[in-house]
Amino acid sequence: MQRTLVKDALNATAPSDAILLQGWVRTRRESKAFSFVELNDGSSLKGMQIVVDATLPDYPQVARANTGASIEVHGKLVESKGAGQKWEVVATGFKVLGEADNSYPLQKKGHTLEFLREIAHLRPRSNLFGAVFRVRSRLAYAVHQFFQNKDFHYVHAPIITASDAEGAGEMFRVTTLDLANPPKTEDGKHVDDAKDFFGKKSFLTVSGQLEAEIFACALSNVYTFGPTFRAENSNTSRHAAEFWMIEPEVAFCDIHGNMALAEEFVKYLIRDAKEHCAADLEFFSKFVDKDLLARLDFVLEKPFVRCSYTEAIEILEKSGKQFEHPVAWGANLQAEHERYLTEEHFKCPTTVYNYPRAIKAFYMRANDGCAPGRETVAAMDLLVPGIGEIIGGSQREERLEKLREGMALHHLEEKPYWWYLDLRRYGSVPHSGFGLGFERMLMFVTGVGNIRDVIPFARTPGTADF
Ligand code: 4AD
Ligand code: MG
């Protein structure tokens, strides 16, 4: 007999004489004549109430069905007499597949998120994490839908790479050399990287952008969606050493088209979550962030604010606020500045664009006609209330000489980037793209405040368990 998912059983339009459910016990209550078992199989937030008559031959099994045990139930789907659910299943067969004794850590009581992180192998069975990971799965699907519907091609950027896409030197080294006894160069002074697995130093990628640019300059519209890695020692609620990024790259597109695409994309994902994960979002708004649903509606209704970096600095200077990090033209915006702009000043998602050239990546397009000492690039960051930056992007420098200038400015050697420079030698076109941090987007959509709780297994400084 075929298994029915709880989600489908809960949405049934008619009773059924024979149904098979499989899942895990959340709770069990006993009365004289019956036991009531709540079965959850992860297909929905809500479980199915199973009613087991004490006269059923399988009834002795019920005593073994503790919280956390896995069970298999044959029964009839009938309209529930109890309040709180439309349907329930009256068991005709009840079997415990795997017991769980009372050492099972997810007993029915409130646990802290910190504790649940320590049991990341069990936390998907809790209401909160079941909901988070259903939303995560759905939005991953929506990412593909959004771009595929727009005729973007999905490119798999490599995970192991020899080039630093951001030029920021925050890369994890990949090596098979014996670290205790590495091969040395002839003069005996240095490690001989030529003897390493790839014949040169290699790393985990920080971004698939440069490879996406290669493909945009051939297939026009592309996107990547994959894991990226940053060896930055930032112990914050918004940074992970391994995170997933979506990076569209569009040929024949400038910074304005790029900002419009970013806004459309973020709104699409929110709308999709509202439509397909309504029960889970309602749960978050009840137990995680009471303003969540109102905020998401607000974000969908309003056009995002667009504000140049120079305007942002003026706003911050005039704010009268005492920031921990001083505000000055040329300095990077810190989290506190970003939050002031989106949460207090504009009270709306805000795209800041045209940042100082010196603080942004080498590949961003130099703006023409800047005043001396005020050189900017066509960079853009999308900032949202509660989180700050969720998207970083730019128009790319398509002019060979300007790109070389940018690399020199950032003290980057040209040689390893020869192929990237080639794109400017052969059929160069204006092009733009951005990266959306998938976990930051999930934090925004669920209201969950820590990045460790929207990724199945968080990798952060000092932690790589599971
Ligand atoms: O601003 P970033 O560093 O931009 C890039 O990597 C570009 N190559 C993207 C592009 O233009 N194709 O990162 C993009 C986004 C950030 O806005 C943030 O949402 C996320 O990636 N991100 C992180 N998320 C979690 N943990 C970290 N350590 C992150 N670093 C960046
Ligand atoms: Mg950034």
- pTM for the structure as a whole: 0.97
Q: For residue 355, give the DSSP letter.
A: E
Tell me how far the alpha carbon of residue 442 lies from the centroid of ligand 2, in angstroms: 17
Which residue in 385, 413, 395, 401 sits closest to 355, CA to CA?
395
pLDDT value, residue 323: 95
CB count within 10 Å of CB 400 equals 14
Positions of E strands within 199-308: 202-204, 221-229, 242-251, 305-308
Q: Which of 224, 243, 259 to mutate to test the pocket of ligand 1 (most atoms within 8 A of CB)?
A: 243
State whether the beta carbon of 213 lies less than 6 angstroms from ligand 1: no
Contact 176, 202 (CB under 8 A): no
Contact (Cβ atoms closer than 8 angstroms) between residue 31 and residue 21:
no
Ligand nearest to the CA of 390: 1
Handedness of CA 55, 61, 64, 67 (dihedral sign): negative
Mean pLDDT by 10 residues, the chain (466 residues): 97 97 97 96 98 97 97 97 91 98 89 95 97 98 98 98 88 96 94 96 97 98 98 93 98 98 98 98 97 96 97 97 95 94 96 97 97 97 95 98 97 95 98 98 98 98 94
Work out the burial of residue 336: count CB atoms within 10 Å of its CB; fewer than 13 is exposed, 13-18 middle, 19 or more buried. middle
Tell me, in angstroms, the distance from the centre of ligand 1 to residue 274's CA: 25
Task: Spell out the alpha helix ranges (H) of 277-410.
Answer: 278-287, 292-301, 309-318, 335-339, 400-409
Separation of 207 CA from ligand 1 center, angstroms?
Answer: 8
pLDDT in the model for residue 412: 94
Q: Distance (Å, rounded) from C-alpha 439 to C-alpha 158?
A: 20
Place of tokens 């733009």: 432
Which residue has the least CA distance to atom 6 on ligand 1?
Answer: 207
- Alpha helix positions (H), 178-254: 209-219
- Write down the pLDDT at residue 169: 82
Nearest-ligand number for the alpha carbon of 248: 1
